[in-house]
Amino acid sequence: MTDGPKQGTFLVTSADTSSAVLRDVADGQVLTLSTNPDVSEGEILEATVAPEPPMEVTWTVEEVVSQRAIPVEESSEPPTKQAREIASEQPVGEITRQERAGEGELHVITVPEAQTDQAVADVLDDETTLTQAATLGVARVEIRAADGVVSVRYLPD
């Protein structure tokens, strides 16, 4: 049994014509909607949802505050000097998270050079990337890469 309506920011993890599944970006709770309120997989929904009686297994959307897509794109630009310096100071397999001046965040991941392209593909296709973007409230995500370094930039408008 649930405690009633829930306000939050949700990632749409799947959607079809008749239903959708949301994941709360704050606590990870997964909610199945009994209908699709015109959302698509990968969108971010700021909304109030409520359990449906009597069994409270499925949910409905009571109010939508905002609905948006956050583009996650690979840039042809190389990682910045700052990102390359961070990468040079950490071992392969590590990630450094750093606040950006203003809004957003920078993640620098070191990977084996031969696996750089695969690491970029993984970040592009990762729900965690969208969840982090939604949590930070950013407008877009830019991925830059060079041999052994993947820079994930969470950027405002």
Domains of the chain, residue spans: 6-69, 74-155
Flag whether the pTM goes above 0.95.
no
Residues 6+ apart with CB under 8 A from 51: 2, 4, 57, 58, 59
Which among 71, 22, 70 is positioned nearest to 47, based on CA atoms?
A: 22
In this structure, the number of other CB atoms found within 10 A of the CB of residue 44 comes to 23
Task: Let me know: does 149 contact 87? Beta carbons within 8 Å.
Answer: yes
Say what percent of the chain tops pLDDT 90: 89
Summarize pLDDT for 6-23 with one digit per residue, the tens.
Answer: 999 999 999 999 999 999
pLDDT > 70 fraction of the chain, expressed in percent and rounded: 99
Residues 82/107, Cβ–Cβ less than 8 Å: no
Give the phi and the psi of residue 123 in degrees, each rounded to 5: -65, -40
Contact 11, 39 (CB under 8 A): no
Instruction: Quickly count: other Cβ atoms within 10 Å of residue 83's Cβ.
Output: 24
Amino acid of residue 38? D
Mean pLDDT of the chain: 94
DSSP code per residue over 45-79: EEEEEEEPTTT--SEEEEEEEEEEE--EEE-SSPP
Mean pLDDT to the nearest integer, 75-92: 95
Give residue 1's pLDDT: 52
Which of 142, 134, 15 is CA-nearest to residue 79? 142
| Residue 89, pLDDT above cutoff 90 | yes
| pLDDT of the residue at 98 | 93
Q: For domain 6-69, give the CATH number.
A: 2.40.50
**Alpha helices, DSSP H, located in the chain:** 81-88, 116-124, 127-136
